[in-house]
Copies of this chain bind each other. A is one copy, B any other.
Amino acid sequence: MDIVLVGLGVIGGSFAQALKSAGYADVYGVDTDAQTVQKAKERALIADGGTDAAQWLPRGDLVIVSLYPLLLAPFMRQNMRHFKGGCVVTDTTGVKTMVVDAITALLRDDVDFVFGHPMAGREKKGIDFADARVFAGANYLITPTPRNQEKNIVAVEDLMRRLGFGSVRRITPALHDEMIGYTSQLPHALAVALVNSDDHQRDTGSFIGDSYRDLTRIANINAELWSELFLGNRDNLLAAIHAFQQELETIRRAVEQGDKQTLTACFARSSARREALQK
Which A residues are closer than 8 A to B by beta carbons? 119-121, 123, 138-139, 141, 167, 169, 176, 178-180, 182-184, 186-201, 204-224, 226-228, 230-231, 234, 237-238, 240-248, 250-252, 255-256, 258, 260, 263-264, 266-271, 273-275, 277-279
Contact = CB atoms under 8 A, between A and B. Distances in A.
Nearest to A201: B273
6 tightest CB-CB pairs across the interface, nearest first?
A: A223-B267, A193-B247, A220-B274, A219-B270, A179-B207, A227-B263
A143 to B, nearest CB: 12
A82 to B, nearest CB: 30
B255 A231 contact: yes
Copies of this protein in the assembly total 2
A187 B207 contact: no
A141 B198 CA distance: 19
Contacts of A120: 209-210
A194 B216 CA distance: 14
Given A248-B193, A277-B216, A223 B271 contact: yes
B207 A271 contact: no
Contact of A220 (B214, B215, B226, B271): B271
